[in-house]
């Protein structure tokens, strides 16, 4: 019985619902044996299929196939029960090959018929040797669930010109030889191929060549789908050329890596040999001996105290007996490295030329005359006793007033090294006192690092932003600074890493802060405070002309003749764009003008850029600050306040809302202290209306609203009492106070005017707002008298002991007529 007859019988009996045993019984039972057979033997028209997802299988291949046992066990069992043992392998373009969908686009129609050999099961996997026989194309699905059964056809290759086939065959053979040279692992596959086919078998040769490449699955499937031999060989040659290029690059990379490895190995062996030769000849020493001698040379140049010398000798002896590969050796070596880099006994000579010190301060800073005088006095004291030691200066002022640069100028005037670090946000006390040596990555504290960098034991060390120091579970750095900044304790400062006493008393410490409130009181007591207030417009103009503009031009590489800014323009920038106490924002605005001026110079190199008042809008936009109109009317009073950014003017408004009931309302984001001041002012004025010639029943039937404008800005402080009281008295008398007056002072329930702080900043704020008459507490008379004359010039100041003094200035006598006024 031939195959066609058997297949016809299968057509009549196989259906979708037949039992598997019945189907297996009718699988084509050809005469093929179980040994390796040639691909052109008679093939069955119906067969079971198995999806493979890594890459397609080719007719010329012989290689193992591994699949999961659970879904495909029945399929292989049925195939093994047939005589021909032929299984169809189809490429499935998805990650999971165990759940294919018949007729889906992921499961290819063209596959490879393969004979199964040596099937076996192990650890949930089925493994067998697949011998590729022939291409097939699925014609019809006979069973759509595992085990899948299909009807197939075997496409015939058309005739091709022999000369072209020969040329392509030789090209593929040459490519295979090239791949064999680059990757000898292909040799076993070539032997298997030659045992079944000859070099003249062009079709198996093309399929074998494709199977040797590492092309992607869809590229190999394209070769499997191509039946015409010449077109198929063209595609195979293209894939093999790509494979050759990849192999060539891989060989170059391997060669380069091998060369580097061999070079490093050669250098390593030569170095080791050189060390042995030098050691034998006494020319060189080992690393341990070299380290010990280097540390001894360093220490010989220093003058350490006796206890440091003893510790050094102990650690050095330990280093000499430790093995270089041990962790303890590295710890000891690092310790000795730090210990011998501390400048024990090395100091720089101080310069006590007061005229030179003043020249340096004047060179680096305009105005700040009182601050300069205070620093010169400090240097004079050091000159008199022959040293500047045991001193801690604290420079307090708004941002941008020159605190850090003054510290650097002090170091220049003394001729000392300068070291600065910021303690703002510092949360770990180990930053101050160092880590213990037992920790991995342990380091000394900042002060030991400063001494190492400066190479002298008497530098000027600046601690920036000391008011912003933090605390955490890792300790309190502010408490650690108590020992450091105490002249009586820092003579024997103990760093946890060095674990020896260190003398910090020769260091001049300069700290900076924006405010004193957040500095711990014990720490503040150890420091000598110098206040730096903000600058008035005239001072800012001089700073811009002498320092800011020249520095910005130099930084940009410009000459003065290329770009200039008029004095009037600088004044307008100060008034309209940079009213803060410092000059940092002023420098930013000037820098912005210079950047835009450079753009114009690049567009027209021959022109000169001159910036006047009329040009500012084009460079900086519209002014941020408009010319303020003083708020006038009943219930409106101008107060003076101190902030961390400097002094500021503050208008306070009071208004009677209705007369149906008594009430008092506060708005403006006021803090607890200002709320208490408002309540005291309300109580005092309510109880003294008759004395101040107002309606005694006014507040009994009035709902009063007190507001501090700029409600988005939080406000607090004890200096607004008299201002609030004056606003309330104004609405009670229905009389506006004098409009050119600004005031500050705290009020008590008995009418006493108490002193406040920040007098200098408040006076500067009044001058900035063109206010010429000021009311201050009488207890602050001394603070005002200490102000430089240029700040007091043109001002009329009234000093008040009782609120009645404020009342007489604002409501009775014209400004300047009181006996307790100062012109």
DSSP for 399-443, written as a single string:
TTSSHHHHHHHHHHHHT--EEEEE-TT---THHHH---TTSTT--
Cis peptide before 339 (omega within 30 of 0): no
Q: Two tokens at 528?
A: 């000598």
User: What pLDDT, on the 0 to 100 scale, is given for residue 816?
Assistant: 36
User: What pLDDT, on the 0 to 100 scale, is given for residue 173?
Assistant: 85
Beta bridge partners of 251: none
For the full predicted model, state whether its pTM sits above 0.85: no
Q: Which of 591, 536, 519, 149 is nearest to 366 (CA)?
A: 536
User: What pLDDT, on the 0 to 100 scale, is given for residue 818?
Assistant: 40
User: What pLDDT, on the 0 to 100 scale, is given for residue 15?
Assistant: 36
719 has catalytic annotation: yes
User: What pLDDT, on the 0 to 100 scale, is given for residue 797?
Assistant: 92
User: What pLDDT, on the 0 to 100 scale, is given for residue 283?
Assistant: 60
Token pair 């029945």 is at which residue?
A: 74
User: What pLDDT, on the 0 to 100 scale, is given for residue 711?
Assistant: 53
Is 395 strand, coil or helix? strand
Ranges of residues in the chain whose predicted pLDDT is under 70: 1-41, 199, 278-279, 281-286, 389-390, 472-474, 626-631, 644-646, 711-716, 812-823
Contact predicate 809/815, CB 8 Å? yes
Q: Which of 635, 713, 648, 718 is nearest to 680 (CA)?
A: 718
User: What pLDDT, on the 0 to 100 scale, is given for residue 1?
Assistant: 37
CA angle 580, 582, 586 (to 5 degrees): 75
Residue tagged active-site, from 457, 505, 719, 821: 719
User: What pLDDT, on the 0 to 100 scale, is given for residue 776?
Assistant: 93
User: What pLDDT, on the 0 to 100 scale, is given for residue 29?
Assistant: 36
Is 573 strand, coil or helix? helix
Helices and strands in the chain, H and E counts: 29, 25
User: What pLDDT, on the 0 to 100 scale, is given for residue 284?
Assistant: 57
User: What pLDDT, on the 0 to 100 scale, is given for residue 683?
Assistant: 93
């Amino acid at each position: 019985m031939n195959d066609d007859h058997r297949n016809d019988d299968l057509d009549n009996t196989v259906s979708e619902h037949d039992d598997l045993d019945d189907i297996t019984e009718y699988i084509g039972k050809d005469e093929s044996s179980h040994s390796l057979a040639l691909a052109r033997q008679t093939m069955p028209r119906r067969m079971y299929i198995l999806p493979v997802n890594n890459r397609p299988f080719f007719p010329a291949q012989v290689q193992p196939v591994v699949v999961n046992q659970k879904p495909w066990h029945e399929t292989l069992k049925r195939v093994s029960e047939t005589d021909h043992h032929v299984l169809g392998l189809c490429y499935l373009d998805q990650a999971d090959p165990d759940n294919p969908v018949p007729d889906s686009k992921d499961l290819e129609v063209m596959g490879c018929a393969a004979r199964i050999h040596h099937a076996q099961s192990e650890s949930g996997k089925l493994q067998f040797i697949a011998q590729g026989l022939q291409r097939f194309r699925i014609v019809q699905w006979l069973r759509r669930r595992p085990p899948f059964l299909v009807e197939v056809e075997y496409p015939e290759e058309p005739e091709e010109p022999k000369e072209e086939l020969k040329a392509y065959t030789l090209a593929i053979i040459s490519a295979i030889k090239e791949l064999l040279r680059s990757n000898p692992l292909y040799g076993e596959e070539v032997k298997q191929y030659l045992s079944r086919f000859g070099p003249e078998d062009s079709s198996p040769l093309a399929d074998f060549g494709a199977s040797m490449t590492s092309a992607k699955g869809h590229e190999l499937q394209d070769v499997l789908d191509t039946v015409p031999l010449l077109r198929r060989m063209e595609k195979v040659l293209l894939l093999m050329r790509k494979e050759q290029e990849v192999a060539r690059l891989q060989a170059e990379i391997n060669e380069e890596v091998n060369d580097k490895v061999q070079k490093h190995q050669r250098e390593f062996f030569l170095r080791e040999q050189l060390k042995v030769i030098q050691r034998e000849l006494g020319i060189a020493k080992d690393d341990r001996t070299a380290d010990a001698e280097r540390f001894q040379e360093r220490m010989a140049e220093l003058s350490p105290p006796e206890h440091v010398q003893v510790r050094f000798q102990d650690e050095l002896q330990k280093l000499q007996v430790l093995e270089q590969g041990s962790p303890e050796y590295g710890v000891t070596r690092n310790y000795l490295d730090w210990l011998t880099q501390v400048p024990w006994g090395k100091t720089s000579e101080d310069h006590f030329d007061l005229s030179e010190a003043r020249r340096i301060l004047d060179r680096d800073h305009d105005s700040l005359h009182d601050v300069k005088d205070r620093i010169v006095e400090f240097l004079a004291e050091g000159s008199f006793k022959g040293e500047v030691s045991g001193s801690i200066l604290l420079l307090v002022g708004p941002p941008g007033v020159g605190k850090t640069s003054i510290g650097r100028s002090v170091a220049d005037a003394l001729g000392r090294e300068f070291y600065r670090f910021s303690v703002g946000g510092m949360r770990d006390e180990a930053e101050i006192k160092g880590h213990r040596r037992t920790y991995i990555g342990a380091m000394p504290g900042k002060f030991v690092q400063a001494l190492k960098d400066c190479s002298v034991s008497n530098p000027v060390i600046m601690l920036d932003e000391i008011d912003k120091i933090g605390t955490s579970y890792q300790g309190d750095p502010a408490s650690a600074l108590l020992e450091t900044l105490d002249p009586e304790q820092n003579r024997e400062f103990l760093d946890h890493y060095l674990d020896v006493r260190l003398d910090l008393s020769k260091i001049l410490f300069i700290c900076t802060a924006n405010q004193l409130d957040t500095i711990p009181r014990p720490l503040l007591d150890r420091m000598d405070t110098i206040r730096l207030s903000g600058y008035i417009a005239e001072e800012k103009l001089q700073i811009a002309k002498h320092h800011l503009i020249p520095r910005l031009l130099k930084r940009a590489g410009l000459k003065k003749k290329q770009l200039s800014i008029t004095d009037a323009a600088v004044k307008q920038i100060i008034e309209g764009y940079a009213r803060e106490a410092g000059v940092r924002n002023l420098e930013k605005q000037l820098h912005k003008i210079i950047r835009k001026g450079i753009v114009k110079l690049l567009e027209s190199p021959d022109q000169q850029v001159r910036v006047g008042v009329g040009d500012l809008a084009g460079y900086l936009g519209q002014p941020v600050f408009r010319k303020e109109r003083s708020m006038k009317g009943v219930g409106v009073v101008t107060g003076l306040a101190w902030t961390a950014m400097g002094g500021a003017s503050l208008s306070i408004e009071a208004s009677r809302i209705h007369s149906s009931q008594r009430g008092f309302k506060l708005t403006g984001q006021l803090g607890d202290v200002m709320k208490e001041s408002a309540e005291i002012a309300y109580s005092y004025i309510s109880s003294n209306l008759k004395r101040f010639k107002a309606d005694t029943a006014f507040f009994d039937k009035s709902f009063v609203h007190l507001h501090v404008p700029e409600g988005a800005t939080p406000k607090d402080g004890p200096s607004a009492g008299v201002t609030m009281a004056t606003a309330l008295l104004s609405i009670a008398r229905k009389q506006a106070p004098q409009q050119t007056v600004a005031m500050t002072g705290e009020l008590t329930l008995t009418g006493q005017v108490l002193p406040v702080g920040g007098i200098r900043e408040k006076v500067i704020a009044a001058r900035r707002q063109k206010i010429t008459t000021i009311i201050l507490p009488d207890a602050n008379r001394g603070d005002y008298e200490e102000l430089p004359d240029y700040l007091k010039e043109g001002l009329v100041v009234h000093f008040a002991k009782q609120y009645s003094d404020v009342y007489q200035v604002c409501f009775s006598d014209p400004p300047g007529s009181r006996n307790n006024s100062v012109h």
